[in-house]
Structure 1
Amino acid sequence: MPTPNHAGQAIVDSLARHGVKRVFAVPGESYLAVLDGLHGADIETVVARQEGGAAYMAEAHGKFTGEPGVAMVTRGPGAANAYVAVHSAWQDGTPMVLFVGLVPIADRMRESFQEFDPAAWFGTQAKRVLVLDEASRASEIVAEAFFAAKSGRPGPVIVGLPEDVITHEFSGSLVHPIPVAEGALSARELEAITTALAGAEKPLIYVGGQRWTPEAAAAVTRFAEANGIPVAQDWHASDRVPFSSPVNVGSLGYGRSAVAAKMFDEADVLVAVGALPTDVPTDGFTLRQRPDAVNFLVSIDTTLRGRSGAVTDHAVASPVAFAEAVERVQLGRAAAWDAWRAEGHEAHLALATIGDDETLPATAEGTAHMSVVIGELLGHLPADTVTTLGAGNHTAWAQWFVPTEVFPSQLATRNGSMGYSIPSAVAASLESPERLIVSVCGDGEFLMNGQEMATAVQYGAAMLVIVMDNGQFATIRDHQEHHFPGRVSGTQLSNPDFAGFARAFGGHGETVTSDDQAAGAVERALKAVTEQRKPALIHVVTDQAINLP
């Protein structure tokens, strides 16, 4: 490979060396040299409509592939717009690298146009904040950023690119990627875990977090199924164990079954793999807080950031390392846990069952039941369907009812961040165009990044979008009714024609205002996605009184 003629080119060549296939960007004059490097490169530049959308796409790519998603934005306002995804990546432990153009070095500390301090802005929400001050170190900085984003507990890394430095001649060498350790279970740790499980009356495996691979998820599933150990999954991380597996007792967090929460709290031995007992699964640090609780935490994060409750033992290992250690372990006690396991699995299946038409509550004229639309959709879904969702009550329709049979197949935020559904669907569709991508959105959530439908059309991201329109920020309305009954304030919305919105961008649009329209709308929308290869949107007008399943 010829020596790059400027640092911007070296950055692009280094991204290619790290296996990057696409970057998500909103262009800016502060990093023109990098855009120049991308000209003619074997890296696709996906131009988003807003920096928040671009950065969400990068975060979703990190979740979906396990490799850092790459976003590029300009200084000041561009960086501010991208911050929401950085916070999501920080709290969700997602590998992501955000390149931010900066003012020239000579203009620092002079209140220059769009100047800001990247370390001050991002220092508490990123694993590292790096600034390229020497052109010769451009490739080294990229390698350091990717290593930091992937190693240990993954997370976001910020790379600042001064406008002048990236135009300077690159005189360094291209640096190879830095290997990331998976950790391991020592013989002592493996014996302690297996001995505790073998002697347990109510064992439970709890899974989630990052650093999973399809192979690791399959291996952990085989271990749990062979030994009859029930598995609970972290909130918005429902794809580590197949939805239909007999050991799956459901997801913890908001909208979980009471049985799953009880099992999590009552288990006499808990083995947490990748996931930790954080605030959401513990119901605000109330479940599993006994000082004598037996909790084996298998986490590559040496700090155990976010954990609560007792720690019996901490194995510094990724889910990959855990899967390799336990895959062939036979405890010989599966039958002893039949009743314990079956109770949880039956509750999980019951929560995922949509009632028949006779049991549905009456709905106002001009509105439809979301359950009817989802019910129609379920009959058409391939086993490897990917669902994406943002935040809000509407996410329960995907979390409860849409099966996640393989890993990865669910993209969602665990920090309650809205506006994620559409950008994450774009990222998943571009990465795996052969899979059906279904994005379940609320009306308020969709409009936070709905403009990225234009990006989907431009780059051929064929995906199905379902917008539940109840004319309100329903989650906040629910909280409002609980704390201030009958005093609705600041939660009501006046919405556009979402189907027309999709068509305006070049997608397919359907509107459902009665249950008898659902079947045709689903069929036509799926045909647009699978045969015409363009995004399709189903606008479901629902009754405000019926927010949840």
Structure 2
Amino acid sequence: MSSAQAVVECMKIENVRHVFCVPGESFLPVLDAISRESSMQLISARHEGGASFMAEAYGKAAPSPGVVMATRGVGAANLAIGVHTAAQDSTPLVVLLGQVHSSFKGREGFQEVDLEAFFKPIAKWVAEIREPPRTTEIIQRAFRIARTGRPGPVVVAMPEDVLKKEVLMTFGPAVSIPAPAPSREEVEAVKDALLSSVRPVVIAGGGVKRAGAEQELVSLAEHYNLPVVTAFRRHDSFPNDHRLYAGHLGLGTDQNILETIRQADTILAVGTRLSEVTTQDYKLLTPDHKVIHIDIDEKTIGSVHPPFLGIVADARQVLKKLLAVDVATGWGNWAERSRRGYEKSLISPGSRLLNGRIIDCLQNKLPENSVITNDAGNFAGWLHSYFVFRCPHTYVGPTSGAMGYGLPAALGVKLASPDKVVVSLSGDGGFMMTMQEVETAVRYNIPVISLVFNNRMYGTIRMHQEMHYPCQVAGTDLGEVRFSKMADLMGAEGFYVKTAADFERVFEQALRATGPVVIEIECDPEQISLNRTIQSIRAEQ
């Protein structure tokens, strides 16, 4: 068996069903082996950045990791944004890169880059297959590292000459993911900390989702009357319509929600790295907060805030153990107050603007198990503030804030969850970065709905520009692009709307469509964010 065939066999063992790429001559043997494997579909994208976003989102939505391939230094550089996103989002992603012929290395060969050095700062592990007999060892190790502990991206370089060589191969079993449980002493320590708490609150992160612990978190919150807030872009780790849900910690978070954290005396942080955005520039948690930090990765605990108690364990295992602990609580009034703070945020003025009414339409028209993906940009403020995520596995977004993510992520999610409606939200700046993947959606008949909020500017940067350099516009204005027409030209259905009524009518058509749809929404550039206009920012200076 050749090394290329062994690579594909390793993917088959891990139940990989889709592989994303932009093809390159350096890994043609792997492409050939995939084409001969009936259980696998190759998705050839229009740009490596789009392919890596597809694979990263697939890794969030599917039971198997995302897999993406590209060629040598040039393809690797293009897909690096997906590797960085997977690192910050803790997504299992296996990156397979064709590399120059072994005898050409070190001579600045065609498209040569030291891939191990290039990716080391942003990948969980980087390796190169130098000897054909070690192919299965390295590839299976890559899958194990990507999926266990804190998941993340791994990168394997494959020299083109090594891929063609045939040797006797041996294979190990599929990855078994450890789920370490807390010790009895650690559980007792959490119990004692909760017993002394007056206003405890849970911050639920991606570790809850990765562990499949959403129901255990609901049970624990109900058992103790604990209010729950979700970390940045982890909305669906707890049902937003639950009486104990107290909001989402993101960009531009409503002050009523932030006040819940400020008033809390004990923070039960479960499966979250307490990121810059979640902690509002690392200022939300103070020395007065007693933080119980639970995470699968020992490096995460204490990296942002000194914990009162740190537990290295699987989120689901910890929550199950805590459910068995009997703690008499009187937190009902506190939980009700926290919930009211969140409910107040839902009726803020932004809900009555065009974008708010579009989010309301999505809420009313989408099936409950639909999945929403989003790009980076101020338009997402309306989604994060007003959409009520009721079910697990219904949101996929980049905590890295990567532009261009929304559309390709939707393709990856739809391939992983073909029975779900998948909708992406993007601004015109981000959408333009990867909109070529509309053609990919058409070619493979992947029926996703893409919303493009078009205000003809890089809105988030313009907002900060106006805050720091009012009236001095530099680089943030964009030209006129009719995305709906471009979608039509690529074979999708394109619509252009200006009002909420027009959007509702068109969106109902999109839900009935059998192919990809792009809905371009004309937005007022003056309304720069959820609660601010350009003029109001200038008036503050």
Q: Same fold (TM over 0.5)?
A: yes
Corresponding residue for residue 539 of structure 2: none
Aligned equivalent of 1:304:
300
Partner of 2:335: 341
Report 1:247-396 matches (<5 A): 247-290=244-287, 293-304=289-300, 307-333=303-329, 336-353=330-347, 360=353, 369-396=354-381
Question: Match for 1:475: what amino acid?
Answer: T
Other structure's SS at 2:331 match: helix
1:510 counterpart residue number: 495
Opposite residue 452 of structure 2, the aligned amino acid is V
Structure 1 residues 210 and 114: alpha-carbon distance in aligned structure 2, compared to 1, 3 A threshold: farther
Of the three residues 226, 230, 244, the one matched with 2:227 is 230
1:176 aligned to 2:157? no
Pair 1:430 & 2:424 matched: no
- Give the Cα separation in 2 of the matches to 1:539 and 1:527: 18
> How far, CA to CA, are the matches of 2:173 and 2:156 in structure 1?
18
Letter in 2 for 1:399: H
The answer to whether the Cα contact below 8 Å between 2:357 and 2:500 also exists between their aligned partners in 1 is: yes
Counterpart of 1:51 in structure 2: which amino acid?
E
1:415–1:484 Cα change, 3 Å: same
Distance 1:540 1:516 in 2: 12
Corresponding letter in the other structure for 2:84: H
Structure 2 counterpart of 1:464, which letter?
A: I
Matched, 1:72 2:66: no
Is the alpha carbon distance of 1:13 and 1:373 closer, same or farther for their aligned partners in structure 2, counting shifts above 3 Å?
same
SS in 2 for 1:448: helix
Trace 1:26-41 onto structure 2 (pairs within 5 A).
26-41=22-37
Match in the other structure for 2:206: 209
Of 35, 48, 56, 2:53 maps to: 56
Measured against aligned partners, the alpha-carbon deviations of 1:280-310 in whole angstroms (never above 9, x if no partner) come to: 22221222131x5311111110111783122
Q: SS in structure 2 opposite 1:281?
A: coil
Figure out how many residues of one structure are paired with residues of the other and give that number: 529
1:419 offset after TM fit, Å?
0.5
- Judged with a 3 Å threshold, the aligned counterparts in structure 2 of structure 1 residues 406 and 133 are, in CA distance, closer, same or farther, namely same
- The whole-number CA distance in structure 1 between the counterparts of 2:221 and 2:357 is 34
Residue equivalent to 2:7? 11
Per-residue CA deviations over 1:28-64 (Å, capped at 9, x if unaligned) read 0000111111022111111111001111111111222
In the alignment, what sits opposite 1:167?
A: 164
User: Which deviations, in whole Å up to 9, do the C-alpha atoms of 1:316-363 show, x marking residues without a partner?
Assistant: 112222233234444332xx2233222322232332347699x65xxx
> What is the one-letter code of the residue matched to 2:117?
A
How far has the Cα of 1:311 moved from its partner?
1.1
**DSSP-derived class of the 1:20 partner:** coil
Conserved in 2, the CA contact under 8 Å of 1:95 and 1:155? yes
Amino acid corresponding to residue 320 of structure 2 in structure 1: E
Instruction: Please name the residue that 1:492 is paired with.
Output: 477
| Whole-Å separation in 2 of the counterparts to 1:393 and 1:114 | 37
Does the alignment pair 1:522 with 2:507?
yes
Separation in structure 2 between the aligned mates of residue 354 and residue 40 of structure 1, nearest angstrom: 56
Instruction: Indicate the residue corresponding to 1:150 in structure 2.
Output: 147
Whether contact under 8 Å (2:208, 2:237) holds in the other structure is no
- Unaligned ranges ≥5, structure 2: 531-541
1:152, CA displacement in angstroms? 1.4
Query: Bigger CA drift: 11-20 or 301-310?
Result: 301-310
Q: Distance in 2 between matches of 1:437 and 1:389?
A: 11
Deviation at 1:429, TM superposition (A): 0.7
Distance 1:301 1:487 in 2: 44
Q: Deviation at 1:198?
A: 3.0
Q: Does 1:409 align with 2:394?
A: yes
Query: Does the 8 Å CA contact 1:388/1:421 hold for their aligned counterparts?
Result: yes
Flag the 1:66–1:345 CA change in 2: closer, same or farther, 3 A: farther
Partner of 1:547: 528
CA distance in 2, matches of 1:53, 1:379: 30
Aligned to 1:164, the other structure's residue is in SS state helix
Alignment RMSD (CA, Å)? 1.8
**Structure 2 Cα separation of the partners of residues 172 and 350 of structure 1:** 62
Deviation at 1:235, TM superposition (A): 0.6
Give 1:475 shift: 0.4
Compared with structure 1, are the counterparts of its residues 233 and 152 closer, same or farther at alpha carbon in structure 2 (3 Å cutoff)?
same
- Report whether the alignment pairs 1:100 with 2:94: no
| 1:449 CA displacement | 0.7
CA shift at 1:255, angstroms?
2.2
Asked if the contact 2:100–2:109 (Cα under 8 Å) also holds between the matched residues in 1, the reply is yes
Equivalent in the alignment of 2:80? 83
Please name the residue that 2:518 is paired with. 537
**Residue type of the partner of 1:200?**
S
What displacement does 1:244 show?
0.4
5+ residue gaps, structure 1: 361-368
Shift of the 538–306 alpha-carbon distance from structure 1 to 2, 3 Å rule, reads: farther
Using a 3 Å threshold, how does the CA distance of structure 1 residues 77 and 213 change in structure 2: closer, same or farther?
closer
Residue 18 of structure 2 is matched in structure 1 by: 22
Q: TM-score normalized by structure 2?
A: 0.94
1:226 Cα deviation after fit: 2.6
SS in 2 for 1:206: strand
Residues 489, 354 of structure 1: alpha-carbon distance in 2 compared, 3 angstrom cutoff: same
Give the fraction of aligned pairs with identical amino acids, expressed as a percent.
Answer: 33
Question: Taking structure 1 as the reference length, what is the TM-score of the superposition?
Answer: 0.93
**Secondary structure of the structure 1 residue equivalent to 2:307:** coil
One-letter code aligned to 1:347: G
Change (3 A) 1:85 1:295: same
Aligned-pair CA distance for 1:511:
0.7
Partner of 2:292, secondary structure, is strand
2:204 touches 2:229 (CA, 8 Å); kept in 1?
yes
1:117 maps to which of 114, 118, 121: 114
